[in-house]
Structure 1
Amino acid sequence: MRWRVWLLLCCLLPACSTGPVNAPVGDRSRQPARIPSTHIVGQGDTLYSVAFLYGKTVEELAAWNGIRQPYTIFRGQKIRLAPPKTTALVRRKISPSKPKPRVSRAPKPATTSTVRPSQPKVTRPSATKPAAARPATRTGLVAGKGPPSWTWPASGKLIRRFDPRSTGKKGIDIAGKAGSPVRAAAAGKVVYAGSGLSGYGRLIIIKHNKDFLSAYAHNRKLVAKEGQWVKKGELIARMGSSATDRTELHFEIRKKGQPVDPLRYLPKR
């Protein structure tokens, strides 16, 4: 009889219990990356590459860190990524000084002196030095603040458009074959040529004027050298797959340090 009671209780207990409770799912949304307050200069870094990495202008970093042209930085140097905090200056009150009494002295007796006739001055013509000639500059390449005249940096198919919500590289991707030419999208000066920025592979950055930069990533070979002036459409690199899994050109345009949609500036094709 007892075993029947125990059997009945075993059948009733599961029915009285509540259903299974799922474990709470945490929020897996990606948080925006915070920009650190400083950057420690590593091997291959330049002030232009540091500014490009954090979305700043080289002029801002130079002003915040007291760096003058040609913007030379050193390995291990700490670069401030935000303007320094201004400290309040304490004004000292200066007590007015009491005027000192003047001591009057007795006048000296007048002395007689013989007056000599003045001789006429002979003026000689001064030899004027010729003005030093100013060094020639590459005018027309980096001038003004407006957008320069743009052209497409590669002739391949557009495979990825600009996405302002992306947390990674912000630009467009152009497909192509390994070794295909990569050309300067506008005239300017190559301010960075190397592979020191993670995720960009072999990268070239060109400064066009005070406001605009352009970047060319994942190259197989860099043709243009750092410090070289290039013309619009000039060969600067060969397309490749460095730091990516397919042959492509990643192209960016930066305005005042911030990425903008290149399709707003490139001609329609």
Structure 2
Amino acid sequence: MLISEFTPKQFAISVLVTAMLAGCASAPKKPSAPPPVVTKPTSVKPKLTQASPPTYRVKAGETLYSISLRFDKDYRELARINDLDEKFTIYVDQQLRLDTADADTPVPNTVTATKPVITTNKPLVAKPLKDPKESVASTTTIKKPSETIIKNTPSVGSNVQATVKGGSLTWGWPVTGQLLKQFSREGVGSKGIDIAGKRGDIVKASADGVVVYAGEGLVGYGKLIILRHNDEYITAYAHNDRLIASEGQRVKIGQNIAELGSTGTDRDKLHFEIRYKGKPIDPLTILPN
């Protein structure tokens, strides 16, 4: 059909439809909605160590030294802020101040003690060991542990002694065996070193000192021996099967103080710590190579 055959009405309708189609084709598309914003919660890693409480109530069997070990405190500072006597005498249920910031405010004590329940610094009188033969430092190398020890770990322990630089202490290894775990300031149970052994292996004093704690009242340490060597250094020997030395006993370097075991842990080993002014230090920096 020729265009001349369109009537005026048909022509007008054709123009209108064409205009509408062109308008639809040129109409802008609506912008798509932006993707939803999802805010993920920030991951906060839990602290591996907890701050010590401002005060602590003494439990049966504890000494000032075991409490200072638990909270990484200097026992001399605890004695000072709690106004303890020169023997560091404390009592069951006594509330000890741990935070020096509270030292000016007395802590109320509800305990009326007529006689000391715990004496943490008994007179330094040397006592004979249960077996006199055990009081002599042995020069025999302790047998190596079984093949269940983790491979490719260094063997530590020696009869060689070393003098601490700038001090008068002479140090030796408490046991001989494979090093299972090294020192770390982070985490639980890493404030010293773990040395493998067999149940009954002899644990020796690492330096001259006095036994200031012998018991199993400190959670996670099993049967524990703590030695005070001078005003600055103490050592801890944990997870023993049997304690040979007793509180108040003076011991020499290399003297038998315990038998290695697995109390408070999952295998036979010695957990050994050295504290300097209450703070843990790496024993490998002190013990002879």
Per the normalisation by structure 1, the TM-score is: 0.68
Instruction: Give the counterpart letter for 1:231 in structure 2.
Output: K
Q: Is the 8 A contact 2:78 2:98 kept in 1?
A: yes
Mapping of residues 212-223 of structure 1, within 5 Å: 212-223=233-244
Instruction: Give the counterpart letter for 2:238 in structure 1.
Output: A
1:61 to 57, 71, 78: 78
Distance 1:62 1:74 in 2: 13
- The match for 2:87 is 70
1:170 aligns with 2:195: no
Question: Which consecutive residues of structure 1, in runs of 5 or more, have no partner in the other structure?
Answer: 1-15, 88-134, 139-144
Give the Å deviation of 1:250. Answer: 0.3
- The match for 1:228 is 249
- The match for 1:210 is 231
Distance 1:74 1:49 in 2: 14
Question: Which consecutive residues of structure 2, in runs of 5 or more, have no partner in the other structure?
Answer: 1-32, 106-122, 127-165
Distance 1:71 1:79 in 2: 12
Distance 1:137 1:224 in 2: 13
- The match for 1:44 is 61
Give the Å deviation of 1:81. Answer: 0.7
2:205 to 181, 184, 208: 184
Distance 1:51 1:30 in 2: 21
Distance 1:71 1:228 in 2: 16
Give the Å deviation of 1:73. Answer: 1.0
Distance 1:24 1:56 in 2: 36
Q: Percent identity?
A: 46
Range with greater deviation from structure 2 (66-75 or 183-192): 66-75
1:257 to 256, 264, 278: 278
Range with greater deviation from structure 2 (157-166 or 33-42): 157-166
**What is the root-mean-square deviation of aligned Cα atoms in Å?**
2.5
Q: Is the 8 A contact 1:46 1:73 kept in 2?
A: yes
Q: Is the 8 A contact 1:146 1:211 kept in 2?
A: no
Distance 1:264 1:23 in 2: 44
Partner SS, residue 246 of structure 1: coil
Instruction: Give the counterpart letter for 1:30 in structure 2.
Output: K
Give the Å deviation of 1:75. Answer: 0.9
Give the Å deviation of 1:42. Answer: 0.7
1:247 aligns with 2:264: no
